[in-house]
């Protein structure tokens, strides 16, 4: 059990299939991964398990465990045990003593619960982390809009304008957190104030996107009162709807549809090959809005965390 030596061992690391394999080389080049964060369990030349961590460029320690794969053809009696040993060994080397392990993210088929093969693979990976002390935090829908879908037209009920400055957006973000159904936001609010949660989300995610901030839109009533906002952006991999919210006083009027259509329209005008988004499985109103806007659920995401 060891980390890979470098880019020259990516072929070895990629012997087990996963949707992120095609991104590994660019992630290494971009500093989002490091060889010492990419671990393999080998028996001779056979790859039995692997694990890899990801971070935003330049951050340390890693932000996310997003690759955990097992040779599913290995005997059931040993495959989980091997992966447990691998992750434990790697964490002891990667993280400073006393630091909580980063969240685990795993992309799975949308129908994984109905598939015996996919279901067993997902349950094995979850069992590995449960043995190390993690628990299921949330399951999320991964959504995609494709260019063959109709491009939304402008809203007839709301007006849209760019965000004036960071302070305006932070104020609206803090307001939108009231009654949020998002599991990560609710968890933040247990440990910090509303303002602190908004600042953290802005500084650690939104402000780091390389795409222009003039894509961001505030939705207003005809008189100028803010109703909500949307953050169309591009991360290191895809065009995305990074944030979408209706302010509490205006919920229940269907404005979510107008705001999502505007964010989709902004990105579609950039001639993008796809638009990605995600929302918690339990956030039914948001999931329905994406479906109405033509987004399809192409994957789910399992998030596990440590207490």
CA distance 246 to 92: 43
Question: Residue 289 has which token pair?
Answer: 């809005």
The end-to-end CA distance of the chain, in Å, is 26
Q: Are 294 and 145 in contact (CB under 8 A)?
A: yes
- Residues counted in the chain: 307
Q: What is the pLDDT of residue 240?
A: 98
Measured CA distances, 90 to 4, 27, 170 (Å): 11, 19, 38
Q: What is the pLDDT of residue 236?
A: 93
Backbone angles phi, psi at 211, to 5 degrees: -75, 160
Q: What is the pLDDT of residue 76?
A: 81
pLDDT digits (tens, 9 = 90+) for 264-288: 999 999 999 999 999 999 999 999 9
Classify 24 as helix, strand or coil. Answer: helix
Backbone angles phi, psi at 152, to 5 degrees: -65, 145
Q: What is the pLDDT of residue 78?
A: 92
Share of the chain above pLDDT 90, in %: 94
Q: What is the pLDDT of residue 157?
A: 95
CA distance 92 to 97: 8
User: What are the DSSP calls for 114-140, one per residue?
Assistant: G-HHHHHHHHHHHHHHHHTTEEEEEEE
Q: What is the pLDDT of residue 23?
A: 97
Q: What is the pLDDT of residue 77?
A: 80
Task: Specify the pTM.
Answer: 0.94
> Which stretches of the chain score pLDDT less than 50?
none
Tokens 């949308």, residue located: 110
User: What are the DSSP calls for 177-235, one per residue?
Assistant: TTT---HHHHHHHHHS-HHHHHHHHHHHTGGG-SS-GGG-EEEE-TTS-EEEEEEEEE-
* Nearest in space to 32 (alpha carbons), one of 60, 3, 69, 11: 60
Q: What is the pLDDT of residue 106?
A: 97
Cβ count near 84 (within 10 Å): 17
Q: What is the pLDDT of residue 57?
A: 84
């Amino acid at each position: 059990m060891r980390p890979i030596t470098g880019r020259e061992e990516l072929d070895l690391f990629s012997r087990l299939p996963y949707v992120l394999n095609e991104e590994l080389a660019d992630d290494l080049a971009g500093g989002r991964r490091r060889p010492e964060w990419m671990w393999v369990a080998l028996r001779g030349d056979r790859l039995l398990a692997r694990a890899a961590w990801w971070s935003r460029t330049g951050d340390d320690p890693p932000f996310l465990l997003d690759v955990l794969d097992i040779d599913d053809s290995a005997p059931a009696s040993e495959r989980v045990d091997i992966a447990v040993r691998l992750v434990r060994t790697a964490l002891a080397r990667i993280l400073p003593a006393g630091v909580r392990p980063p969240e685990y993210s795993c992309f799975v088929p949308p129908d994984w619960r109905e598939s015996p093969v996919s279901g067993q693979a997902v349950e094995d990976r979850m069992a590995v982390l449960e043995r190390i002390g993690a628990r299921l935090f949330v399951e999320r829908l991964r959504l995609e809009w494709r260019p063959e879908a109709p491009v939304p037209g402008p809203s007839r009920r709301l007006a849209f304008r760019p965000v004036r400055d960071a302070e305006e957006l932070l104020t609206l973000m803090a307001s939108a957190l009231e009654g949020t159904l998002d599991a990560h936001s609710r968890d933040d609010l247990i440990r910090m104030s509303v303002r602190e949660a908004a600042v953290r989300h802005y500084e650690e995610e939104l402000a780091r996107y390389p795409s222009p901030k003039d894509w961001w839109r505030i939705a207003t009533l005809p008189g100028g009162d803010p109703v909500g906002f949307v953050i169309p952006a591009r991360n290191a991999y895809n065009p995305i709807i990074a944030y979408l919210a209706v302010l509490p006083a205006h919920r229940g009027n269907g404005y979510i549809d107008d705001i999502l259509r505007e964010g989709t329209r902004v990105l579609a005008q950039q001639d993008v090959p796809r638009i990605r988004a995600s929302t918690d499985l339990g956030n039914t109103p948001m999931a329905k809005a994406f479906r109405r806007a033509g987004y399809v659920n192409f994957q789910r995401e399992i998030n596990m965390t440590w207490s």
